[in-house]
Amino acid sequence: MKPAIILGSSSPYRKALLERLGIPFTTQSPDIDETPQSHESISDYVLRMSQEKAKTIFNNCKIPNALIITSDQSATLSSTKSNKEATHDQIIGKPHTIENAQKQLESFSSNKVVFYTSVSITCTRTHETKSKVTQYSVHFKKLSSEEISRYISIEKPLDCAGSFKCEGLGVRLFDKMEGEDPTSLEGLPLIAICDLLCHFGADPLTYKTVNSL
């Protein structure tokens, strides 16, 4: 019997992404402390967040054979002066206000922003957890204040880290993108998820009945 799939997220964006795989799943919203630790790198932070989300849901899960999928994402302006990875005090979060969104996008103009997206899958049967962190870079065009203001008024990306929606009009702001998995930029790295599901014997290809041609 195939394991039940639980998406540990209340995000409608992550829910829509996982639905692309065509596998049945339920959702649960983990409640954790998301305070970064001192001197914690962004990749370590997002990895710890996805693992703590999975642990929280696992501790309350009554399903003996389930796979819990959790994810977290943060971003930072890429430094041209240092090869060191940014720490938590340089994390780009959700703007929440129009003013903050305007400031974020103005700082991105002609710059590169690096997104770190983690995914963890925990098996309730074996208690095993597997995780991966994916990087994805966005190079922004030179943007005028008027372009930024108009974009924000159209898409209202106030609940999106980085103040844009790459699945929508946000691509108008980009010069180019670089990375292994474009879905990681949207908040849920589906290539990594497929790999981890296969590790646990839950290949998405086997969740559907195939009709004869």
How far apart, in whole angstroms, are the C-alpha atoms of residue 78 and residue 138?
10
- Shortest CA distance to 121 belongs to which of 135, 132, 110, 137? 132
Per annotation, catalytic residue among 31, 72, 89, 175: 72
Query: Helix, strand, coil proportions of the chain in percent (round to 5)?
Result: 35, 25, 40
Determine whether 72 is an active site residue. yes
Cα distances from 11 to residues 112, 184, 200, in angstroms, run 26, 14, 24
State which H helix or E strand residue 113 sits in: strand 112-123
Helix (H) or strand (E) holding 74: strand 66-77
Task: Name, in order, each residue with C-beta under 8 angstroms of 36's C-beta and a sequence gap of 6 or more.
Answer: 45, 88, 91
Instruction: List the catalytic residues.
Output: 72
